Amino acid sequence: MIMKKIKLIITLLAITLLVPSCQDDGGDSKLEVSQGAIADVQKDNSTDSFIDLIAINEGASINIGFTVDKKLGDVTSMDVVAFYVKASGEASKGVLFTNVTTFPATFNITQDDLYTAFDVLSVPSDFEVGDQLIITADLTLSNGTIIKTINDDGVPNYGSNLATTPYSPVQTYNVACPSDLGGTYEFSTSNIGEPGGGFVAGPVTGTVTLTPKGGGVYDISDGSFGGWEALYGPPGATGVTLIDICNQIKFGGADDFGDTYTMTSLVVTGNQISFHWENTYGEFGDTTLTRTDGTDWPPLTL
């Protein structure tokens, strides 16, 4: 019950970031109290979870399905919008559907819809590895106020703590190749440390599971690969993901304390991959993952 109350408080704090900006009174600015709102965008799991680069270049049609609902706030209508973010970071905004008034609403789009919505997309070769399609909504309240979940320049108009709520204001589709890294693997982690000086030489051994989320993204059952348990005792680090984009991998997500992870010194040898990991808190370790299914790892790179 306490945790539910905490999550409610976090939700309300997140909503305050989705309100119009302050009013200029000619001198000091004063925040105008206004009602916020949140949309909930969810992927249709029976459709594509990522933009398949190989399929597009082979002439096959993609099918991206999702639902949009209103969760909080006096929302009367929405425009379903999208941002196409190139691997370079350049973001373009496109409008997919306007004046949606019935909720939840279900939509399906193909690459032809993306060609129409974005000037940067017109042929299959315009899709590149590392690009992202982000789907969200602009919300119109009953008083006429328009709340943009993401500003027109591509900058989110909400705080990271919104991720702790049960709502998803955006959904992201990576432009990637089919990926098959899911499974349970043996780990061996050595040279484990933390910024306070704690150190475990190891090796610490066990198993870790990579659970597919779609689009080359995998939940890691323990993002510290036994490091946290060696330093502090159970549990391990949850919330960290592994992202595979056409055999180029990196960590994503954030652990239980909001820290993100980086991977360096990747070596792939048959059924083993070895790498150094560290996070923004300052914890680190050297891990080897071993496949026991009789197959080798693909030619992964950083």
In angstroms, the Cα distances linking 274 to 149, 189, 234 are 40, 9, 23
Task: Tell me the C-alpha distance between 39 and 14, whole Å.
Answer: 12
pLDDT at residue 282 is higher than 90:
yes
pLDDT at residue 15 is higher than 70:
no
Dihedral, 138, 134, 160, 259 alpha carbons, nearest 10: 180
pLDDT value for 38: 87
pTM of this structure: 0.60
Nearest to 276 by CA among 291, 254, 261: 261
Q: What is the pLDDT of residues 151-195, one digit of tens each?
A: 998 888 876 666 556 778 999 999 888 788 999 999 999 999 999
12-28 average pLDDT score? 41
Q: What is the pLDDT of residues 120-137, one digit of tens each?
A: 999 998 998 889 999 999
Q: What is the pLDDT of residues 193-225, one digit of tens each?
A: 999 999 999 899 999 999 998 778 899 999 999
Task: Tell me the C-alpha distance between 231 and 239, whole Å.
Answer: 19
pLDDT value for 267: 98
Structural fold of domain 35-176 = Immunoglobulin-like (2.60.40)
Architecture of domain 183-290: Beta Barrel (2.40)
Confidence of residue 12 (pLDDT cuts 50, 70, 90): very low
Confidence of residue 53 (pLDDT cuts 50, 70, 90): confident
For the chain, domain boundaries: 35-176, 183-290
pLDDT at residue 32 is higher than 80:
no
Nearest to 222 by CA among 204, 209, 232, 205: 209
pLDDT value for 165: 64
Task: Tell me the C-alpha distance between 97 and 82, whole Å.
Answer: 10
43-63 average pLDDT score? 89
69-74 average pLDDT score? 88
